[in-house]
Structure 1
Amino acid sequence: MTHNEISLQTKKKLATSLKKFMMSKSLNKITVTDIIKDCSVNRKTFYYHFQDIYDLLKWILEQEAVEVVKKYDLMVDYKEAILFVINYVENNAHILACAYDTLGREEMRRFLYQDFISVIETIIDNVEKELGLCIDKEFKHFLCNLYTESLAGILIEWFKNPQNQYKEQIVEYLSIIFRSSLPEILKNSPNKARANLV
């Protein structure tokens, strides 16, 4: 096995351990010592791969959700990508609830924001290219923030109160919003005309 394969295997082992502990303990009660004992590795091994438990949690979310979403053709598979994220949230509600209870709403929102901003940027870049436009960077940044903040808020609200909305309804609403509003927003962006004149 290569060094990268061994490293990935170790990270997965640490991740599995953290997820196991999150089933019975709040995140702030889980220690690095708990995880390294469970995995039969030393402290140095843990800190070689992760800065702290929150870094490990971020890696779990990135590997299990964000990296998978990035593999979708986001021009074609909006609905499938959104459904994957919603299913992930549903299937891992205990992990997210544990993280939420420890981090609080604002920190959890920031956590999700950092994970999904690159996905939203990719969607916006793809629509911009498809429309043959050159959009002002500041406006694109504003748009990325708007959509990512909205998505993070919706995901938090849904996993905290799943009985308030049906999964299919959320997927449908988000798909409609991305598919219909984004092209129109980009077509009407403030600096689009200037970009077309260049």
Structure 2
Amino acid sequence: MAQQYTKKKIREEFIKILNERPLNKITVKDIASACEINRNTFYYYYTDVYALLSELFQTELQTVIDEYNDTFSWEESFIVATKFALENKIAINHVYNSMQREELEDYIYNVSGHVMNRYVEKLSDGISASSGDKKLISSFYQCALTEMVLRWIASGMKEDPDTIVRRIGQLFDGHIALSLKRSSGLNDVW
């Protein structure tokens, strides 16, 4: 129990510090001092600040997975997934502008993939679309959503993601179901 508390405290303090300064300006000493622990305690849990960052994104991804609700549309699921970014805009911007941008990109890609895979699977119930086509459809939307979020971050996260995602949903409403139905009508298995 104490170990979970300590890890949680380290993550929380790291996010606070990351909201104050760039990633490359954060040291293990800074985090340990903020947590009122010694550096050895930090190293017991993490090899370095980058390992902490990686676990942070994995934890947030797990939160999205745990909060996923089959009654949600893909839009609602994705909006839930943007919660962390909205609550930590400065921290996200610091990671985006760091050498560790790939961690952020992977996180967004994985969240997009999870949301779209679950949604396509749910929507394909009763449609005999090939598994290859389902993967292709999910992947297409995963890539599109990932790039849109990265562009949103690059532009300073000024627009409301709720408005943008819902508008995309309105513009493309029915396209995923139509693609799945087309797959079931194609002769070749992909």
Q: Is the partner of 1:182 in helix, strand or coil?
A: helix
- Specify which structure has the higher proportion of helix: 1
Instruction: Give the match for residue 170 of structure 2.
Output: 176
Q: Is the partner of 1:73 in helix, strand or coil?
A: coil
Instruction: Give the match for residue 118 of structure 2.
Output: 122
Candidates 15, 21, 42, aligned match of 2:17: 21
Instruction: Give the match for residue 55 of structure 1.
Output: 51
Unpaired segments ≥5 residues, structure 2: none
Question: Which whole-Å deviations, capped at 9, do the CAs of 1:72-129 have from their partners, x for residues lacking one?
Answer: 324434343233234432221111101001037666423421344233222222222x
Instruction: Give the match for residue 131 of structure 1.
Output: 126
Q: In the alignment, residue 40 of structure 1 is paired with which amino acid?
A: E
TM-score, length basis structure 1: 0.74
RMSD value over aligned CA atoms? 3.1
TM-score, length basis structure 2: 0.77
Unpaired segments ≥5 residues, structure 1: none
Residue 10 in structure 1 maps to residue 6 in structure 2: yes
Task: Give the fraction of aligned pairs with identical amino acids, expressed as a percent.
Answer: 24
Candidates 135, 140, 147, aligned match of 1:153: 147
Point out the more displaced range, 95-104 or 56-65: 56-65
Kindly indicate whether the alpha-carbon contact (under 8 Å) linking 1:75 and 1:126 is maintained by their aligned counterparts in 2: no
Residue 99 in structure 1 maps to residue 102 in structure 2: no
Kindly indicate whether the alpha-carbon contact (under 8 Å) linking 1:13 and 1:39 is maintained by their aligned counterparts in 2: yes
Q: Detail structure 1 runs of 4+ shifted over 6 Å in the superposition.
A: none
How many residues of Structure 1 are paired with residues of Structure 2 in the alignment?
A: 188
